[in-house]
Structure 1
Amino acid sequence: MNIRELARRSGVSTATVSRALNDRAEVSEATRARIRQLASELGYAPNEPARTLVRRRSDTIGLIWDSGQEAQGLHNPFLLGLLSAVRTALSEADYHLMLLTAPGPDDPDAAHLQAVRRHNLEGVIVLTTPPDDRCLRVLAASAVPCAGIDTAFTGPRTVRVSSDNAAGAEAAVEHLYALGHRRIATITGPLHLPPAAERLAGYQRACARLGLPVPPSYVTEGDFFLDSGVAAGRRLLAVAERPTAIFAAGDQMAVGAMHAAADAGLSVPRDLAVVGFDDIDAAALVRPALSTVAQDQRGLGEAAVAALRGLIDAAPVDTAEPRIIPTRLLIRGSSRPGA
């Protein structure tokens, strides 16, 4: 079934069919409804590449995340949840989603920009990519509308969306302090990534305000995954004056720290309180359940898509200030007295 056959069966020209399917004003409502009904009955689907050429729009948004972490990202519950939130927001706005893979060897610095032009993409959403990514810098410097989630990049048509990472970390430290903890350590994420650096800054700011000492041994780096949390937890628990509480910048690392505590014969939260960040599904399933700073995945996705649509439609958009999405502290058994 093609447009010519649909036009023959409808008794109109192919131009009229095209106008009806694209909601053009030149076609009466009755004719439009009749053509759409027949198209549905016959299983006709428009040729998307042809429609793109005619309309000069693809209604497709590209998605990029850190090329160095794509494989790991497939096993990262938070990133997968964020990807789902972005997909849902784009679908509700009648956009398609195309995943742009790692840059190729031919011209890696311009690979993303070339892909955008080759596929006639309307814009790009970027997830958790390091600020020193040269391929991303080339894209951001172009006229392509871009929205970055937890990504520090700037350009003439770029907007940034982020959770309030620093405030979330501060809330976690304040909660532990209110429980009576004065030796609070942290497991950071990879510090070249903006969310990890911002959460560390929030931890340090809260400790300074509360007068808590932060010896270098109380700050150790992980990679947001479980095994690094186990290793970091063991390092922290081996400190001469071991911490009584740990704030981990990611839930998987927090669960890893709980494993390290169990291996050391310590009870959570009696001997060691633990708070994570993200609120992945597993946070409520471990025992004791993990206290965590919850991110609003849907809010992040909707804010990124809304800002990107504004750039695509040439609406006035402030590209200087990031859109900050609030976080909230969820107190569960891993930091609750008597749990």
Structure 2
Amino acid sequence: MDIDELARRSGVSAATVSRALNGRPEVSAATRARIVALAAELGYSPNASARTLASRRSGLIGLLWDTDYRSGGRQHPFLQEVLIGLKAALSDRGQGLILLPIVPPDDEAGYVRLARQYTLDGIVMMGVDQHTPQVRALLATPVPCVGLDLALDGPRTASVGSDNRSAAATAVAHLHARGHRRIATITGPLDLWPAAERLAGYRAELARRRLRRRPEYEVAGDFFAASGTAGMRRLLDLPTPPTAVFVAGDAMAIAAMRAAADTGRTVPDDVAVVGFDDIDAAAMVHPGLTTIAQDYRRFGTTAARVLAELAAAPSTEPPRSVLLPTRLVVRESSGTDDST
């Protein structure tokens, strides 16, 4: 069964069949309904290759995820949740997802070539260095690109992430409500958008609460456990150590709590801790880690929606950011209302 046979049996032209099946307004509702019903009855399915050639759209979205960038090859802890949301939303739109290979550093046109080869409708990026020549070359093209926790810059780009600034402010406000006035932070790598936003939110809430910002209370981390250990030891060695620490990632926060215990401190009595991410281990450690939860499945569904909006938007639309809400999960590590 091909489109010509379906047209013959419908008593219309092949062009009318194509318009009807694609929902074009030139075809009356009655004719469209008759053609769609006959196509279903006869088991007609458009040829994917022919449809791509005709529409210049493949229905495919590329996923560009660098397992080695800043992770040492470790799996992203929320990759599965992101993929579940992304695949479900794309399926609802009749689109598919393919994982793009990482091109060599000297292949500047590599990603542009892949986008053309697969006639991609768009690309979702996670954990990539957007400043490399091959990624910058891709961002300069008309291909819609959405970065997850990446602040992309290009003519057809958008970024999806949590409202990290507001979330960090919520963490500081929570510690302030527990009675703390000497609140420190262990940051993530500040060249990454989420880490920079969390530090900005921490600083803004200190200012709003009229708490003195102390440069020695801002210790750099890298989202991995070892930097949480080193950061907490450095803070507790200060002449006037903090009574509370907002840590920009849960892996660092859990390590920071262990470091405090190793120095004879008790969490939360001697130092309260709030993390960020709500990884599974946050509820399993003792004391349980108070943290900021992100909706990673919503990252995926939002990326699919934003890609569709980018594809339909004028090419002159500026890059934009979509910020998703977070949630404070209170456990034992931040203490009670009468902490000091």
Q: Name the TM-score class by shorter chain.
A: 0.7 to 0.9
Count of equivalent residues = 327
Distance 1:103 1:229, change over 3 A: same
Q: 1:287 is paired with a residue of what secondary structure?
A: coil
| C-alpha separation in 2, matches of 1:81 and 1:258 | 27
Aligned to 2:102: 102
| C-alpha separation in 1, matches of 2:73 and 2:200 | 24
Aligned to 2:170: 171
| C-alpha separation in 1, matches of 2:275 and 2:73 | 18
Aligned to 1:294: 293
* Greater mean deviation of Cα atoms: 161-170 or 81-90: 81-90
Do the aligned partners of 2:67 and 2:127 also contact (CA within 8 Å) in 1? no
Do the aligned partners of 2:155 and 2:315 also contact (CA within 8 Å) in 1? no
Do the aligned partners of 2:228 and 2:251 also contact (CA within 8 Å) in 1? yes
| C-alpha separation in 2, matches of 1:315 and 1:185 | 45
- The question of 1:87 aligning with 2:68 is answered no
Matching residue's letter, 2:250? D
Deviation of 1:86 after TM superposition, in Å, equals: 2.4
CA offsets, 1:97-126, max 9 Å, x none? 12223221442x322222111111111112
**Gaps in structure 1 of 5+ consecutive residues:** none
Q: Percent identity?
A: 46
Aligned to 1:213: 212
CA offsets, 1:239-291, max 9 Å, x none? 23222111111111111111212222222211221111122222222222211
Distance 1:241 1:101, change over 3 A: farther
* Greater mean deviation of Cα atoms: 194-203 or 230-239: 230-239
Aligned to 1:275: 274
Q: 1:279 is paired with a residue of what secondary structure?
A: coil
* Greater mean deviation of Cα atoms: 281-290 or 49-58: 49-58
Task: Within 5 Å, give how 1:35-46 maps onto structure 2.
Answer: none
Matching residue's letter, 2:196? A
Aligned to 1:222: 221
Do the aligned partners of 2:69 and 2:129 also contact (CA within 8 Å) in 1? no
Do the aligned partners of 1:73 and 1:79 also contact (CA within 8 Å) in 2? no
* Greater mean deviation of Cα atoms: 30-39 or 119-128: 30-39
* Greater mean deviation of Cα atoms: 157-166 or 92-101: 92-101
Distance 1:222 1:325, change over 3 A: same
Aligned to 2:135: 136
Aligned to 1:151: 150
| C-alpha separation in 2, matches of 1:56 and 1:45 | 18
Distance 1:257 1:48, change over 3 A: farther
Deviation of 1:157 after TM superposition, in Å, equals: 1.3
> What's the TM-score once normalised by structure 2's chain length?
0.81
Distance 1:166 1:317, change over 3 A: farther
Do the aligned partners of 2:21 and 2:35 also contact (CA within 8 Å) in 1? no
| C-alpha separation in 1, matches of 2:203 and 2:32 | 65
Distance 1:31 1:143, change over 3 A: closer
| C-alpha separation in 1, matches of 2:296 and 2:132 | 24
Deviation of 1:54 after TM superposition, in Å, equals: 4.9
Matching residue's letter, 2:100? L
Task: Within 5 Å, give how 1:183-194 maps onto structure 2.
Answer: 183-194=182-193
**Gaps in structure 2 of 5+ consecutive residues:** none
Deviation of 1:200 after TM superposition, in Å, equals: 0.8
Task: Within 5 Å, give how 1:286-325 maps onto structure 2.
Answer: 286-314=285-313, 319-325=318-324
Q: 1:169 is paired with a residue of what secondary structure?
A: helix
| C-alpha separation in 2, matches of 1:65 and 1:221 | 25
CA offsets, 1:148-178, max 9 Å, x none? 2221222221122221111111111111111
| C-alpha separation in 1, matches of 2:36 and 2:74 | 44
Distance 1:262 1:62, change over 3 A: same
> What's the TM-score once normalised by structure 1's chain length?
0.81
| C-alpha separation in 2, matches of 1:82 and 1:336 | 32
Two-structure CA RMSD over aligned residues (Å):
3.5
Deviation of 1:89 after TM superposition, in Å, equals: 2.4
| C-alpha separation in 2, matches of 1:260 and 1:251 | 14
| C-alpha separation in 2, matches of 1:170 and 1:115 | 41
